[in-house]
Structure 1
Amino acid sequence: MGRLSFLLVLLCASLHVAFSFTDGLVANGQFEVSPKPSDLNGTVVTGGRYAIPSWEISGFVEYIKSGQKQGDMLLVVPEGSYAVRLGNKASIKQKIKVIKGMYYSITFMVARTCAQDEKLNVSVAPDWVVLPMQTLYSSNAWDTYAWSFQADYSDIEIVFHNPRVEKDEACGPLIDSIALAALYPPKPSNRNVLKNGGFEEGPYVFPNSSSGVLIPPNIVDMSDHSPIPGWIVESLKAVKYIDSNHFSVPQGKRAIELVAGKESAISQVARTIPNKTYVLSFAVGDARDSCEGSLIVEAFAGKETIQVNYESKGKGGFKHVSFKFVAIGTRTRIVFYSSLYTMRSDENHSSFCGPVIDDVTLLSVRKS
């Protein structure tokens, strides 16, 4: 069966067909099916556009093995043994069959290698995003991101492109573990005016990765939809989408960690009735990721605000908070952000961390 699967992947690559989609890794999404030795000159892929099975490449593309050295730097691959590096103006792309009009999210791992200001352009026409990679959120230099799009066609093409030109043409981002997931935007109900208040609907989370998934800020992702349906990352830095398999989550299987202080915020605009009283309730805690000390969340609902202090031991836990406010319009903006910048206390895992937000509920109050 292993040999048959390998041959099928090679056949599809040679024909350059569109792959049918199911939630999870795209075809050869971890690049473990390698080019033929004759298609490589050292690390450089020289065998033409379809040398990497299931992918079409252009420009200076390298096939990197984990543990390979670049000067004094050791290149580590987070999942499996191989990754690709996009040099000057290089790109990789893959065609996939999807449902036209459906929302999807792409989850992928990326690391910069040479330049401080490396960037990665991810696109599914006509949507695109350019991720700046100056800020590293993880301790192993690899960050996992998610980006969403709406499929305008039943056959789409996912493209990863390095838009920069460096003196060293090999200098550029490393990419590994690319996955796709369908998004099903939730609706408000009589139990919650907010959409997706528990953050259960969101991007694909790699089962073997404990880094969480970064959702880029709205100033980078200019689309009118999000990998976390209902919510917008309204800040300069990303927020982290976490799962209960690797983190402490107050309710359900998913939550949000605000990892970059006041530069890390989420928001949602809810439909409200003017002059009506509402109760906003939510859980604040820590992700059990050695994020110790005072964590402070500020929540805004219209013109009202509340500051919530949570003393974290970095081992998990949470508390519920609620407050009332009177709506002043037909739309009320709900915002959460962290007031403090916090780093993990584990010396071997120095990285950004912060308070966890979950179980967010907005309900109107009946007059007694």
Structure 2
Amino acid sequence: MAGSFTRMKWVSIFVLLHLPHLAFTTLTEEDGLVPNGDFEQSPSNGFPSEAIVEQSGPTEIPNWKTNGTVELVESGQKQGALILIVPQGRHAVRLGNDAEISQDLTVEKGSIYSVTFSAARTCAQLESLNVSVPPASQTIDLQTLYNVQGWDPYAVAFNADADTMTLLFKNTGMEDDPTCGPIIDNIAIKKMFTPDRPKDNAVINGDFEEGPFMFKNTSLGVLLPTNLDEETSSLPGWTVESNRAMRYVDSDHYAVPEGKRAIELVSGKEGIISQMVETTPNKQYSLTFLLGHADDKCKQPLAVMAFAGDQAQNVHYTPNSNSTFQSSNLNFTAKAERTRIAFYSVYYNTRSDDMTSLCGPVIDDVRVWFSGSRRNGLRGLWVAILGLVWVLISSI
């Protein structure tokens, strides 16, 4: 009995020592490609050859329902002088005029799901793609290409109103050539959760660690288009207010100031990210954040405009040989119980190696806290944990 009790104590100590890690672990078993989300599964009669593509009739795509002119395209396939772009792998889907593709997914009712997908345009510059989980929908403007590869990953979020939801992609355009339309590939889904607000920070998800699904073999990040509903967001807690997108980046492919995720402001003044935080009127606060360079050959200067209530501050990134980021601060007095904080890039930046791919400053670790308070919540947590461990050890 004594031995069993001792083992239980050591198990408790192990759990306590790993508590900070366990508190931020998310279950991701269901995250990833939807069935045949990369369109690499062969139809029953094989992938169509160029000769068969010209024939009329619906295209069979395993796990997907189609309506209208839906075409399986192959990497390197040509349409006239145009080589069609397949984002990943060998195959993707092109949606012609008023065409759509859909799939029913089993989900958890009441949860928020983020859908990541890759998209490229073909014949027309003004192509767009409507992504929906009826009745909710969002139209993605494909006019702006954010990099020279000709395609971009995007993420949109939806609320699951039932145990199943229909994920639908539709080309609402009407081109002279009915086969013209956007190409989509790599469709993945992730169940979202909203992190708890830290005791010493009014900002939710200020470290940007919770966000949309990202493919490990894709170095383009994920674009977050306009989303004004803070309750249904691929970046919990945050909204994208502007016409252009933000880029969600990871530490595997970019320089991230802290943790594994951050936001790159790639759209100049047309790309605004914001959050409404809880404040106490007439109290003084500090907005702090880390500002950095993504190490993606982005041409300098880099600068952000930071807003907190009625205060604004232009902050320039100052290169430092010892670090790719710096700490920044904006003091303000709250005027209401909720205060808007926001960021955008002062400049329109591009990469120096191709002069075309859009880039910008990176922000991370955004905090709003009482001026003069000591941000020692994590240190206090560790002191409490170590104290409890010492009591347990002493009683063994």
Could you state the TM-score of these two structures normalised by the residue count of structure 2?
Answer: 0.83
Alpha-carbon spacing, 1:315–1:87, altered in 2? closer, same or farther (3 Å): farther
How far does residue 229 in structure 1 lie from its aligned partner after superposition? 0.4
- Does residue 172 (structure 1) correspond to residue 186 (structure 2)? The answer is no
- Pair 1:29-2:37 in alignment: yes
Offset of 1:127 from its aligned partner? 1.1
Say whether residues 1:337 and 2:344 are aligned partners: yes
Three-state SS of the structure 2 residue aligned to 1:176 is strand
Pick aligned residue for 1:158 from 142, 149, 167: 167
CA distance 1:361–1:95, shift in 2 (3 Å): same
Matched, 1:42 2:49: no
* Pick aligned residue for 2:326 from 303, 319, 332: 319
Q: Which piece of structure 1 moves more, 311-320 or 67-76?
A: 311-320
In structure 2, do the counterparts of structure 1 residues 343 and 38 end up closer, same or farther at CA, with 3 Å as the change threshold?
closer
Q: Which moved more, 1:285-294 or 1:30-39?
A: 30-39
In structure 2, list runs of 5 or more residues that go unmatched: 1-28, 375-396
Structure-2 change in CA distance of 1:224 and 1:338 (3 Å): same
Deviation at 1:39, TM superposition (A): 8.0
Out of 351, 358, 374, which is 1:352 matched to? 358
Partner of 1:190: 199
The code of the aligned residue for 2:370 comes to: S
SS at match of 1:262: helix
Richer in helix (by share): 2
| 2:147 corresponding residue in structure 1 | 138
Change (3 A) 1:367 1:345: closer
Deviations 1:161-197 (A, max 9, x none): 1111111010000010000001101232212111000
Helix, strand or coil at the partner of 1:64? strand
Q: Could you tell me which residue of structure 2 aligns to residue 110 of structure 1?
A: 119
Matched, 1:292 2:299: yes
**How far did residue 119 of structure 1 move?**
1.1
What letter is aligned with 2:112?
Answer: Y
DSSP-derived class of the 1:107 partner: strand
* Counterpart contact for 1:293–1:312, Cα < 8 Å: no
Counterpart position of 2:80: 71
Q: Share of identical aligned residues, percent?
A: 48
User: Structure 1, residues 90-111: CA drift from partner, whole Å, max 9, x if none?
Assistant: 1111111000000010000000
What amino acid does structure 1 have at the position aligned with 2:32? Answer: G
Aligned match of 2:243: 236
**2:385 corresponds to which residue?**
none
User: 1 CA distance for matches of 2:371 and 2:54?
Assistant: 64
Is 1:362 the counterpart of 2:371? The answer is no
Q: TM-score, normalised by structure 1?
A: 0.89
Matches of 1:367 and 1:322 in 2, distance apart? 14
What secondary structure does 1:189 align onto? coil
Are the equivalent residues in 2 in contact too, given 1:293–1:311 (CA < 8 A)? no
Matched, 1:259 2:266: yes
Checking the alignment, whether the CA contact within 8 Å between 1:109 and 1:145 is kept in structure 2 is yes
Q: State the alpha-carbon separation in 1 of the partners of residues 104 and 316 from structure 2.
A: 48
Secondary structure in 1 matching 2:233: coil
Structure 1 residue 315, shift from structure 2 partner: 11
Contact 1:45 1:61 in 2 (8 A): no
SS in 1 for 2:302: strand
2:224 to 215, 219, 241: 215
Question: Closer, same or farther in 2 for the Cα pair 1:125/1:180, shift >3 Å?
Answer: same
How far does residue 231 in structure 1 lie from its aligned partner after superposition?
0.4
Deviation at 1:48, TM superposition (A): 4.4
The answer on whether the counterparts of 1:110 and 1:144 sit within 8 Å (CA) in structure 2 is: yes
Of structures 1 and 2, the larger Rg is shown by: 2
Counterparts in 2 of 1:315 and 1:228: CA distance versus 1, 3 Å:
farther
Name which of structure 1's ranges 312-321 and 201-210 shifts more when overlaid on structure 2. 312-321
User: Of 59, 62, 71, which aligns to 1:53?
Assistant: 62
Q: 1: distance between equivalents of 2:39 and 2:211?
A: 24
Shift of 1:292: 2.3
Work out whether residues 120 and 150 of structure 2, in 8 Å CA contact, stay in contact via their aligned partners in 1: yes
**TM-aligned CA distance change 1:364 to 1:38, over 3 Å:** closer
CA RMSD across the alignment: 2.2
Deviations 1:281-338 (A, max 9, x none): 1000111110021111110101111211114599971101123211111110001111
CA–CA distance in 1 between the matches of 2:356 and 2:297? 10
Residue 282 in structure 1 maps to residue 294 in structure 2 = no
Give the Cα–Cα distance (whole angstroms) in 2 for the partners of residues 85 and 315 of structure 1.
47
Q: How far does residue 343 in structure 1 lie from its aligned partner after superposition?
A: 0.7
Secondary structure at the aligned position of 1:42 is classed as helix
Alignment partner, residue 275 of structure 2? 268
**Secondary structure in structure 2 of the residue aligned to 1:128:** strand
